[in-house]
Structure 1
Amino acid sequence: MVNESDTSDRLAPVLRPVRAGNGFEEALEQILQVVRLGLVAAGERLPAERELADRLRISRVTLREVLKVLQDQGLVESRRGRYGGTFVRPRSDTHAGGSEEELRRRVADVDIEDILRFREVLEVGAAGLCAAHGLSEEQADRLRAALAATHDAPLADYRRLDTLLHLTLAELSGSATLTAQYAAVRATVNELLDCIPLLVRNLEHSQHQHTALVEAVLEGDADAAREVMREHCGGTAALLRGFLT
């Protein structure tokens, strides 16, 4: 069974108090990001209603309206009983590449170049900030753990854990605004990545880059951290351009 506190820690980069006036819309946006980013995997349970409502600073009535929308869209399901709660449902299009119709729909709705450039700016900036400002021992342990999870990940779970590693780095940059912007852009990038196959050779290369990146951050080498991240983002961009444009 998944540890509830582990799940809550995973959601920290995304869930934040919403602003008065747009509580429903902003809460829906954030929980959609949690699902789209795979921070709660298919079959896993979302945090309890009380915890979600407290973290988002909304009423449980508003939260239930949000969860009802997600349930109507087939993204989550509610289960009763002692081990009940709200669970993320498996996506219907998780087979490699998705359908041609799905691919065309996603690409038509996205300015790929704009997304890739913005992602690179945020990622390179976050890596540089983490290295330049330094991490506490607890923060360093979080980053190491996120990296280790990607090394041990089965292929089907790799992109979710890769996302978590990058989100952890963004959060450790110390900028809540950067973290929120990165979570949003990464959700879009993941939608595009779902349109292309997982390539083992590319994943092996990515893992080498991840390791070099974390080492640079922990050593406080901001220039190296930025350069490794720039190369890493460039590799992903090249794959997406090759398959989708």
Structure 2
Amino acid sequence: MTTRPARVMVWDGAIRLVHWLMVALVPLLWWTAEEGHMDWHKSFGLTMFGLVLFRLIWGLIGTWTARFAPMVRRIGSLNLYIKSLRSRNTGATFGHSPLAVLSVFALLLVLTAQVTTGLFSVDIDGLESGPLAVLISFETGRQFAAVHELNFNLLLALIGLHITAIAIYSFVLKDRLVEPMVTGHRSRADFPTSDLPENRLRWLPVIAAAALALACVIGISNFG
């Protein structure tokens, strides 16, 4: 008889590392832009671009809880999940809940827009610009810069909602979400079913996704 492990991996090491690096980079990007440290801002921005690109690739070839396809299927149970929230009878979700799926997609969409517009942005004096701004006119670069600034406010709003939701889950629903994003694991007893998806981390996809993201970052950084 095989004994099941007491804990199961929910979030692989790659997705956890990317998550916390993004958390650290957002305030650094804001501070460097506000203080005019544009060389650092560009470096941090390219790093964020690489992380976002890795996450998008990992959503296609990564572990089960990282992939987009299972997340999309969960949206279909959104109404049932909201009803369970009202009764405070949600239980733990293996991976993202239907509401969390919407949050993840919204954050990734806004982050993608943020790093993309940053690549093409030009400042009002034309002295500072993204590495791909040479491909467009000054006027278009200024438009990208305006969207870049406006989109950051949207990103802050989504981050605020995300933090609020985590607080509600932690203190109202008694479902600790931060710890698994640190350790990667949860107790198997948290899940009502024993039939959990296979979620093992494989190194070849990690290396391939990281190599592709790094190659794109290096290519863009050397473009200008």
TM-score by length of 1: 0.30
Which of 1 and 2 has greater Rg?
A: 2
Q: Which has the higher contact order (CA 8 A, sep 6+)?
A: 2
